[in-house]
Chains A and B, each alone.
Chain A
Amino acid sequence: MKGRRLGAFLLVAILVLSVAGPSQAAISARHWSRLGLSRMGHHWTPNLDKPLFGRHLDLVPGQTEKRTFYVRNQSGEQARLRVSVNITKAHRSLQRDAFRVAARTRAGWWQHVRHTGSHAVLWRTMARGAVIPVTLRVRIRPRADNSSMDRGLRLQVKVRLSQRIR
């Protein structure tokens, strides 16, 4: 009877350890960020400490500003990338068709943001170790009239790397 109990205990213990095993590995993997960001694609950090376009930028009709940053999948496995643009304080400057905000990766199509709030502009699967450039573009239409003057918006970018569930 004692031997049977011991056997049952060992079986349960082995099962628990086998389930807990990957979790232990995952915990140790958290020592570095799964998501790497870089302005130039050389030095990688978990966050870009400064805004892409600076804290404040004045634009005039016809002016276009672009900035590119790089995302690296450092998770050690395939993952899903999602880049969102959050626009606030737009005061209808987007609806008035004065400001144009868009994002793309490499030479892909520009994904336009036409309303305030958070919008996913890029989502794709990233291979282990893959690097993807993300370019953001902000501009005022060349034909924007004086009513666009002094209008503005605030732009924030959120990058999320998620484990890919098959």
Chain B
Amino acid sequence: MTSNLASVGRVLASARTRAALSLGVVMAVGATGTFAYWTDDAVISGTSFTAGTLDLQVNNGNSYATTTLSMTGMVPGNTSAEVLTIKNNGTVPLKYTMSGGLTGTDAAAYGTAGSLLLTVVLNGTRSGTGNSSTCTGGTTIVAPVALTATPGTAIIGVRRPTTALAATATESLCFQVTLDPNAPSSLQGKTATATFTATGTSDVS
């Protein structure tokens, strides 16, 4: 056993063995170098995506009740008018449509007679007072149309404006309601309420 250890010691002590061992170390280092690999990274800085907000307002609110358009004791040929402001209160362009009609106990009577006529004028101004106020100037976008007893009836059926309403932009619509000069006398003393709903969409195609 002792002689075996001595022979191992002699072998390790020999210059040739030491050279071979050092060569092994060098080769081990070389092998490690072969397995190292390079990488090159690039980061493309980030973008924040946000779904835009869509908020259509009438006279700066989501609902608006008015008595300006009301007519009490109206007779055939009377008119009333009011300017409403449509606003894009969201962050993306929008277009809108509008529906409307009559509600209340006598809505059907007015609807059947087709005697309450609505006109909408873009950028029109209100002139006159009471039951003789009208929309003047501007561009008529809804020619006189009879209001029905179905509030969901399309009034502005094609999305507008042609060029979408940009974020924060507004447009002015003058609403004029006329009791048809040929309204039947059966409507005397009857009452109805007109309701309009503007619906915005981000589909601006």
Query: A residues touching B (Cβ–Cβ < 8 Å)?
Result: 4, 8, 11-12, 15-16, 18-19, 22-23, 26, 33-35, 37, 46-63, 69, 75, 86, 88-89, 93, 98-99, 138, 140, 144, 146, 148-163, 165
Contacts and interface: CB of A to CB of B under 8 A. Distances in A.
B139 interface: no
B53 A149 contact: yes
Interface of B: 15, 19, 22-23, 26-27, 29-30, 33, 35, 37-54, 91-92, 202-203
Contacts, number: 149
B23 A15 contact: yes
19 contacts: A12-B19, A15-B26, A16-B26, A35-B41, A37-B44, A46-B42, A47-B44, A51-B44, A56-B47, A57-B49, A140-B51, A151-B50, A151-B51, A154-B48, A156-B44, A157-B43, A159-B41, A160-B42, A161-B41
Contact of B33 (A22, A69, A148, A165): A22
Q: Is the interface of A mostly helix, strand, loop or mixed?
A: mixed
A26 B39 CA distance: 12
B92 A58 contact: yes
Residue of B27, B37, B38 with most partner-chain A CB within 10 A: B38
B15 to A, nearest CB: 7
